[in-house]
Chains A and B, each alone.
Chain A
Amino acid sequence: MSSLLIPMLEGTLVSIKIFLFTLLFSLPLGLLVERGKRSKIWIVRKLINLYIMIMRGTPLILQLIFVYFAPYYILGTSFNRLNAVIFAYVINYAAYFAEIYRGGIQAIPKGQYEASKVLGLTKAHTFTHIIFPQVVKEILPAMGNEVITLVKDTALAQTIGVAELFRVAQTASARQFATTPLFIAGVFYFVMNAGVSKLFDIAEMKLNYYGKA
């Protein structure tokens, strides 16, 4: 049993690593993409829209394969596998996050900007201190959904041979002619997502200290 559990825990660590690095980069990148979508420059808006359409309109597994293999054809070399996974996930999730941010930003009444302006607050301060904190509360439920999906999407990394949890379980399952390792992997994912859900519940509770004015 321990001969199974240790590799699976190692695989879990890889999955968690993909998860955390994806969030670390895609959360701020999504904000930047959202901003680009509202750019005054026509071509920037068009390019960002195209990017979002591709990211949301094609399978993540395909994007992953593309990110890993395309450089071989062009440059003759590529990322290491884990970095390719993280890169592919970051650009994919940033597109989804951008749309979520957009919804949240649109939900903030115009009066919040106007009040900030007449009080002399700068645009940057208005965004960071007045608008964004309210956006976070607004988008938390949608973000929760997306982050839970990300936990499960880490399983796709096996496609390009990264030894994350699902791949380890599959290998063990093939070796033992048993589905037990896959079932255990399912429990692992479930537990991780129970943790993620709990964190989002706590965050929502913490932000409940105020209501709509």
Chain B
Amino acid sequence: MTEEKYMIEVKHLVKNYGENEVLKDISFNVAQGEVLSIIGPSGSGKSTLLRAINQLETIEGGEVIICGDTLYKEGLSLTPDQKRKIQLHNGLVFQDFNLFPHMSLKKNITEALIYVLKKDKAEADEIALSLLDKMGLKDRADSYPSQLSGGQKQRVSIARALALKPNVLWFDEPTSALDPELTGEILKVIKDLAKEKMTMVVVTHEMSFARDISDRVIFMDEGLIAEKGTPYEVFENPKNPRTIQFLNRFEG
């Protein structure tokens, strides 16, 4: 198996907060077009893992390769420019959206298109409008984030991430900040993206969603991958007692 096959390769990743080891020897790969869900109890390290790979946390050991570019490896040091280039392989959708409140929805999307990808304004606007259209928000292009519902905000933040044409789209508990009746609209967007063969990694609490949509599931516990496999293997036939215990709480 050649290395280029994978969009994301993580080998023996370690992350500490001082003495406290929050990620201990994490290894996994993400293939092109694959949807991977990461589940696990709070504090298991799943969000930290996503944040570390998206350069929002430091990494203390192991190796991380993103679309063929090494982000972390012992002894490797990258310039801010190189790091920024690697980050552009990834798109990240946050739990609490993190839209820019002082910018219109359109501007939220065009800002990086213009200043990072150096597109001219007309082209950036066109991309923004077509993505807002795709998210069902075309008529809200000139609205501001505070005027939207949580679900709408999350759709804008997905559009903002997609605009830069990332190779892998990461979601950090994308429905956790939403009212239950609004989670459906976000899950539908992610499902549609999966149909388009977008490579995605979803950190989520939505078990049924993880089961429906994922090609593979990782169950994390106490900074380790306790179980990984197809949704069938993890949900229907778990081997690790921690997984069984965790899943039982959702069966109820």
Binding site for B on A (CB under 8 A): 109, 111-112, 114-115, 117-123, 125, 129-130, 133-134, 137, 209-213
Contact = CB atoms under 8 A, between A and B. Distances in A.
Interface size class of B (residues with CB under 8 A): 20 to 34
Contacts of A125: 115
A111 B111 contact: no
B111 A129 contact: yes
Contacts of B102: 133-134, 137, 210
B90 A211 contact: no
B96 A111 contact: yes
A210 B144 contact: yes
Contacts of B94: 111, 114-115
Contact of A213 (B85, B87, B146): B146
Given A117-B55, A133-B102, A209 B144 contact: yes
Given A115-B100, A117-B56, A120-B84, A212 B91 contact: no
Interface string B81-92: 000110110111
A118 B54 contact: yes
Interface of B: 54-56, 80, 84-85, 87-88, 90-92, 94, 96-102, 111-112, 115-116, 144-147, 153, 157, 160-161, 164
14 contacts: A115-B99, A115-B100, A118-B55, A118-B161, A119-B164, A120-B87, A120-B112, A123-B80, A129-B111, A134-B101, A137-B102, A209-B144, A213-B98, A213-B146
A114 to B, nearest CB: 5
Contacts of A111: 94, 96-98
Contacts, number: 77
A213 B145 contact: yes
Interface of chain A, main secondary structure: helix
A133 B102 CA distance: 8
Contacts of B54: 118
Contacts of B160: 119
B100 A112 contact: yes
Contacts of B111: 119, 121, 129-130
Contacts of A211: 101, 144, 146-147
Contacts of B153: 213
B65 to A, nearest CB: 18
Nearest to B55: A117
A212 B146 contact: yes
Can you list the 4 inter-chain pairs with the closest CB atoms, starting with the nearest? A211-B146, A111-B98, A213-B101, A115-B98
B146 A210 contact: yes
Given A112-B98, A130-B100, A211-B101, A122 B146 contact: no
B72 to A, nearest CB: 16
Nearest to A129: B111
A151 to B, nearest CB: 29
B90 A210 contact: no
A133 B104 CA distance: 14
Given A114-B56, A213-B146, A119 B112 contact: yes
